[in-house]
A and B are shown apart, each in its own frame.
Chain A
Amino acid sequence: MAACSVEDVLAKAEREEAEKLKSITVTKELELEFDVGNLLALDKNPAVLRDPHRDREELLRALARDNAQLLVNEIWKLPAERADDVLVVKLPEPSTRLPREKPPPKARPPTKWEQFAKLKGIQKKKKTNLVWDEVHKEWRRRWGYKRAKDDTKEWLIEVPETADPNEDQFAKRNKAKKERVAKNEFNRLRNIARATKTKVPGMGLAPRAQQSKNELAQAISVAKTATASVGKFQERLPKEKGPKNTGKKRKFQPLLGDFSSEKQKQLELLKVMESKRPRVDMTKAVNKQIREEEEEEGRARRSKGVGKKGRRGKGNAAGGKGKGKGSKGPKGPKGGKGRNPRMKQGKR
């Protein structure tokens, strides 16, 4: 009797287990393929959706439920951790191979210095951030604002024996620094250009998304003249117009052609040379002069804003000279109708 009861108990336990698992087991003909990294499942069993008894939606839902159950079973098999009071599973790597969005990045080519350093075996030495400045008796940064040994802030520079006594040593130092900065910038841009390998082509040849009519015309003309005979034998399309401003610059009349027109031209020329009236159009000349002066002023004001305020003496002389030259331009004799040219204004 005890044996029966033991068997009974075991059988009962087994049945209970089966009951428990029944709710989550799903039987399928073919096993599903899982990609747990992507939370993906692929069911290769042929989907039967033509059941007269059940509604299609019902069938779909039942199928979805079964597949979802299998997928969740797979996910629950993974080791779970507890993070902040929440159960979390670590997902494996996704196994579906999906194409990339962009091609993989190319390594940056080494700069001129990097190539040289590699060649010579020069290692990069780590430098300290702060340097001791004896003059100010404190720790200052190595470069930048308020740096330790600032050349430009010296108030006394000895004039070397070989130098010209009238030369401005401060200006010389500043100029040298500007040149160094410009050279550095130039080399940096050259490195970038080498890295990106872009050669800037001439006008009209690098196509952009929207090109204006002028740009297209330029591109066409450049392409046309890019032959060995400089476009002389290139045919034009039926309605294409010739080059607007890119043809010959001067057109000469034939030597022995129209005698009457030649005579007319010569006589007119003599008449003009004889007359006492000036050939200069006063209004035009004066307006041109005014515009030039305004441009000069604008440039001077801009450069004054950018340059140092302390070096006024030097700047003024240079400005004065420039202005003087500009004002001695097309200044004809004062005519009656034209506006009087403005008095030359001093540097404001």
Chain B
Amino acid sequence: MAQLDGVVKPKTKRSKRFLQSREPKLVEDLKNAMIMKGGNTSETVTQALKDIFALKKPNAVLYKKKNIMRPFEDSTSLEFFSKKTDSSLFLFGSHNKKRPNNLVFGRMFDFHVLDMFELGIEKFKSLKDIKNDKCAEGTKPMLVFAGELFDTDNELSRLRNVLTDFFRGPAVPAVRLAGLEHILHFTAADGKIYMRSYRVLLKKSGCRTPRIELEEIGPSFDFVLRRTHLASDDLYKTAHRQPKALKPKKKKNISHDAFGTKYGRLHMQKQNLDKLQTRKMKGLRKRGGAVVTENGEPTSPKKARTRE
């Protein structure tokens, strides 16, 4: 691709398609995630990263090599990587004496860091440890957040937003009822956040809605919230700005009355009631003396015609 100081002009159809897929779009879907390791990682952290990569499988990249960077101090490296892989979510794992088993969940807007949350892993059970049948890769999980802290606490509600963004699957218009297999459950209690992942078994109940039984699969984490970096209010608002084209167009001239009848107004030009075309009723036609008009259309003034 010919490069001109940052403006890349595609020379083939394939490269053009590639560039178009990276352009900003009106309706955005699924964000990609990049999962990377820091300068020093422990066994727990690497296994945790691998497990979360498995949860987010087709839409994530897992970097094998270590990247020495500190997200909270200097985010330029992160931004560079995010631009390269076109991912706006990232997960950075590291381990040192001060912050053991550290995971940083974050998201970007326009390839600049929006929010970052540092979570420390206190207890971790990996996918391998739990020996059960796992769900298929790429199933859209159900997400449940329990605990009033997720609503009242400012940081935790933002964390809830970030986790929703991270773990929700593609936005689908319809979902198969039998395919609701996976559920991720987050509980905020006692200053910790417990993340559990279950497989949903739909059992017969007396009525149409099935009874749910859960079977634990997948990674289970006990997180503790360490540092956070929340976006400023105006940056957050800018990130939420939707293009005008997406706003639903309001249909004008439709009104409803108390009974639910739909009304619309029809605007007519001024009508000349003398020359109005009405229905022809054969029986009402005047017979005999008066001249009969076939239709009431405006005629030349010379011929006088009587109206029916």
A→B interface (CB under 8 Å): 19-21, 23-24, 37-50, 60-61, 63-65, 67-69, 71-73, 75-76, 80-81, 83, 86-91, 94, 96-105, 196, 198, 200-201, 206, 208-209
The residue of chain B having its C-beta at the shortest distance from the C-beta of A49 within the complex is B189
Contact between A43 and B5 (Cβ–Cβ < 8 Å)? no
Contact between A99 and B210 (Cβ–Cβ < 8 Å)? no
Q: Which of B151, B190, B198 contacts A68 (CB 8 A)?
A: B198
In the bound complex, CA of A98 to CA of B167 (Å): 13
Is B159 an interface residue when CB atoms closer than 8 A count as contact? no
Contact between A200 and B209 (Cβ–Cβ < 8 Å)? no
Q: Which of B5, B110, B114, B216 contacts A198 (CB 8 A)?
A: B5
Contacts of A24 in B (CB 8 A): 205, 207, 209-211
Contact between A42 and B24 (Cβ–Cβ < 8 Å)? no
Q: 8 new A-B pairs (CB below 8 Å) besides A39-B175, A89-B174?
A: A40-B144, A41-B144, A43-B147, A47-B189, A76-B209, A98-B164, A100-B240, A101-B24
Q: A100-B241, A196-B7 are in contact. Are A71 and B142 (CB under 8 A)?
A: yes
Closest chain A CB from B115 CB (angstroms): 9
What are 6 sample pairs from A and B whose C-beta atoms fall under 8 A apart? A24-B211, A67-B146, A81-B174, A99-B236, A99-B240, A105-B25
Contacts of B239 in A (CB 8 A): 99-100
Give the top 8 A-B pairs by smallest Cβ distance, nearest first. Answer: A20-B206, A99-B239, A104-B243, A102-B24, A43-B146, A64-B185, A47-B189, A76-B209
Contact between B171 and A45 (Cβ–Cβ < 8 Å)? no
Contacts of B180 in A (CB 8 A): 39, 72, 75
Q: Which of A19, A39, A46 contacts B206 (CB 8 A)?
A: A19
Q: A42-B160, A71-B144 are in contact. Are A104 and B242 (CB under 8 A)?
A: yes
Contact between B140 and A206 (Cβ–Cβ < 8 Å)? no
In the bound complex, CA of A15 to CA of B222 (Å): 42
Closest chain A CB from B271 CB (angstroms): 33
In the bound complex, CA of A200 to CA of B3 (Å): 12
Contacts of A72 in B (CB 8 A): 180, 200, 202, 209-210, 212
Is B80 an interface residue when CB atoms closer than 8 A count as contact? yes
In the bound complex, CA of A91 to CA of B194 (Å): 28
Interface residues of B in 212-247 (CB under 8 A from A): 212-214, 216, 236, 238-243
Contacts of B31 in A (CB 8 A): 101
In the bound complex, CA of A86 to CA of B141 (Å): 19
Interface residues of B in 105-136 (CB under 8 A from A): 107-111, 114
Is B85 an interface residue when CB atoms closer than 8 A count as contact? no
Contacts of B154 in A (CB 8 A): none
Contact between A46 and B200 (Cβ–Cβ < 8 Å)? no
Is B176 an interface residue when CB atoms closer than 8 A count as contact? yes
Contacts of B7 in A (CB 8 A): 196, 198
Contact between B144 and A64 (Cβ–Cβ < 8 Å)? yes
Contact between A50 and B148 (Cβ–Cβ < 8 Å)? no
In the bound complex, CA of A37 to CA of B24 (Å): 23
Contact between B146 and A97 (Cβ–Cβ < 8 Å)? no
In the bound complex, CA of A98 to CA of B160 (Å): 11
Contacts of B5 in A (CB 8 A): 198, 200-201, 206, 208
Is B90 an interface residue when CB atoms closer than 8 A count as contact? no
Q: A75-B180, A98-B164, A104-B26 are in contact. Are A68 and B241 (CB under 8 A)?
A: no
In the bound complex, CA of A237 to CA of B178 (Å): 72
Interface residues of B in 169-208 (CB under 8 A from A): 171-178, 180, 183, 185, 187-190, 194, 196, 198, 200, 202, 205-208
Interface centre among A37, A40, A60, A101, by most chain B C-beta atoms within 10 angstroms, is A101
In the bound complex, CA of A80 to CA of B174 (Å): 10
Q: Which of A67, A71, A83, A105 contacts B26 (CB 8 A)?
A: A105
Is B23 an interface residue when CB atoms closer than 8 A count as contact? yes
Is B161 an interface residue when CB atoms closer than 8 A count as contact? yes
In the bound complex, CA of A162 to CA of B206 (Å): 100
In the bound complex, CA of A76 to CA of B210 (Å): 9
Contact between A42 and B142 (Cβ–Cβ < 8 Å)? no
Q: A38-B164, A68-B212, A103-B110 are in contact. Are A45 and B148 (CB under 8 A)?
A: yes
Contacts of B61 in A (CB 8 A): none
Q: Which of A73, A87, A102 contacts B110 (CB 8 A)?
A: A102
Contacts of A46 in B (CB 8 A): 147-148, 189
Closest chain A CB from B261 CB (angstroms): 24
Q: Which of A39, A75, A97, A198 contacts B143 (CB 8 A)?
A: A39
The residue of chain A having its C-beta at the shortest distance from the C-beta of B179 within the complex is A86
Contacts of B145 in A (CB 8 A): 40-43
Contacts of A67 in B (CB 8 A): 144, 146, 185
In the bound complex, CA of A104 to CA of B240 (Å): 10
Is B4 an interface residue when CB atoms closer than 8 A count as contact? yes
Closest chain B CB from A74 CB (angstroms): 10
Is B28 an interface residue when CB atoms closer than 8 A count as contact? yes
Contact between B206 and A23 (Cβ–Cβ < 8 Å)? yes
Contact between A43 and B144 (Cβ–Cβ < 8 Å)? yes
